[in-house]
Amino acid sequence: DIAHVPPVLIEGIPCTPPRRLAVDIGAVLGETAYTTVLRALRRDHGLSWKQLAAVLRLHSRRGRDGCGPLRRQLERYYGVEGIPDTTLEQTVLDLLIDAWLPLPVCQLVVPLPNGRHYRIDFAYLAVKLAIEIDGPHHKLPEVKARDA
């Protein structure tokens, strides 16, 4: 199935493209590490759940390593808008899903009249509910000032 996905060149070196890596890396990582890597691939390379579903359809066949973890991620997170920034936010998203709450929007950007903006960790637009997750780094003075 490698013929379906040509390599990308990074500084002249042929590399596995992010979409293909989303399948291949699932064959060697545990679920938690895979969730973290997939979150980074989505954020850093702009991969959507729809694109990942297409990759799964392209590569999925009985015995194909890596497809199971991607399939489980799609079953769990397909429909979640946005990408959690941190492992703590990912954990909270998992808790929200496990509690059978509706899927939130992650990292919703809210523009302010002064041209600045806020990013809300989790938003439920229909009920105008925002959830902010503060980890230990929020105690740093520069982070406190930015959050205020």
Does 60 share its domain with 13? yes
Does 59 share its domain with 91? no
Q: Domain count for the chain, please give it.
A: 2
Residue with tokens 């895979």: 34
Q: How far apart are CA 34 and CA 26, in angstroms?
A: 6
Does 27 share its domain with 57? yes
Provide the residue-wise pLDDT of the chain in tens; the chain has 148 residues. Answer: 555 677 888 899 998 899 889 999 999 999 999 999 999 999 999 999 999 999 999 888 877 888 999 999 999 999 999 999 999 999 999 999 999 999 999 999 999 999 999 899 999 999 999 999 988 877 888 877 766 5
Does 20 share its domain with 91? no
Domain end among 79, 98, 114: 79
Most distant pair of Cα atoms in the chain: their distance:
55
Q: How far apart are CA 75 and CA 53, in angstroms?
A: 10
Q: How far apart are CA 4 and CA 23, in angstroms?
A: 13
Tokens at 128, concatenated: 């105008």
> What pLDDT is recorded for position 148?
52
Bridge-partner residues for 108, per DSSP? 120
Does 6 share its domain with 75? yes
Does 136 share its domain with 67? no
Using CA atoms of 16, 20, 22, 27 in order, give the dihedral in degrees to the nearest 10: -90
Name the DSSP letter for residue 11.
T
Does 88 share its domain with 129? yes
- Are residues 85 and 121 in contact, defined by beta-carbon separation less than 8 angstroms? yes
> What pLDDT is recorded for position 27?
92
Does 29 share its domain with 99? no
Domain span including residue 141: 81-148
